[in-house]
Amino acid sequence: MELASTLPTPAKIGSTFCNCSTPRARNRVHCTSTAQATRTLELELTYLEGNSWLWRVSGVSILVDPVLVGNLDFGVPFLYDGAKKNLHKLKLDELGDVDCLLITQSLDDHCHKRTLEPLSKIYPQLQVIATPNAEPILSKIFKQVTYIEPGQETSFRASSKSSLKVTASAGPVLGPPWQRPENGYFVETSDPNARIYIEPHCVFDRKLLQGKTADVVITPVIQQKLPLFTLVSGQEDAVELAKTLQPRYVVPMNNGDLDAKGILAKLLVEVGTVESFKTSLKEVAPRTQVVEPTPGIPLHLTL
């Protein structure tokens, strides 16, 4: 363990993975700022449904919370059994180059053992950055894992590619109040300087984020609720997050949009829409653009 101190037919991602016929028109977005930048950064963000992403940042490929083998059922399919709507035929060897694996949380919808075990065989030297809460699972699968807690940071370089800095932020506490929070992450490039922020439950510590900024915020904006419990935040919390970080772009992730069955699936209720989020966002961050991804279609952002 290393602990840091501080698609009709799916093709390799980089073109298209979606088997839907009509991608959104806005899959390439340029910042509308009138300021003349000396250098620009091209981001490629591919949403793989659920909590899963594949990013290409400064030539580095980052896989986030992959759930790509089988359904998501937490080992209790009679309670919940979720299948992807668009990318259920996606195979791990179609991902292309993967330089880093980013794990935000320790539960099955983020740290999916059925996906991670075959992934480690395809990419045996894969660098992993994760919450220490996931160590019991990851330590048995991967050789190169760096665990960071909220407030700590690490950096990594993939061979001759750019170096990126990753800083953990506080996410939800999944257990008793004294348990260590799960992670959100800031992923930062140096030349040019840019930051991506992701936290897949829209849970954050407002005090710890004060004074921080991000160019891109990836977050759910639609709440998911069970009786007496909010499973995934969004709406006003997502607006507050954008107000705090003042991003150029918010990229919503609809991590509850699965073909789901089971007892909990019947009890799960969505609150709000992307459109209601956009309306509220205009009041506090009028310059921030909301760019909706299409699963399997690379979303290109220019910073």
Instruction: Give the model confidence (pLDDT) of 152-185 as tens digits.
Output: 999 988 776 788 999 999 999 987 888 899 999 9
Instruction: Give the model confidence (pLDDT) of 24-81 as tens digits.
Output: 434 777 654 444 446 788 899 999 999 999 999 988 999 999 999 999 999 999 999 9
- What's the pLDDT at 25? 38
Instruction: Give the model confidence (pLDDT) of 144-154 as tens digits.
Output: 999 999 999 99
As a whole number of angstroms, the distance between CA 301 and CA 68 comes to: 25
DSSP category for residue 14: T
Position 12 pLDDT exceeds 90: no
In the sheet with 249-252, reading across from the earlier edge strand, the strands are: 153-157, 163-170, 183-190, 193-198, 216-219, 249-252, 289-290
Q: What is the mean pLDDT of residues 289-299?
A: 97
Query: What is the helix, strand, coil percentage profile of the chain, to 5?
Result: 15, 30, 55
Q: Which domains does the chain have, with CATH numbers?
A: 2-218+292-302 (3.60.15)
| Lookup: tokens for 220 | 């759910």
Coil vs helix vs strand at 24? coil
The model scores a pTM over 0.75 = yes
Judge contact between 139 and 145, C-beta under 8 A.
yes
CA distances from 28 to 23, 201, 289, 299 (A): 11, 26, 13, 6
- What's the pLDDT at 125? 92
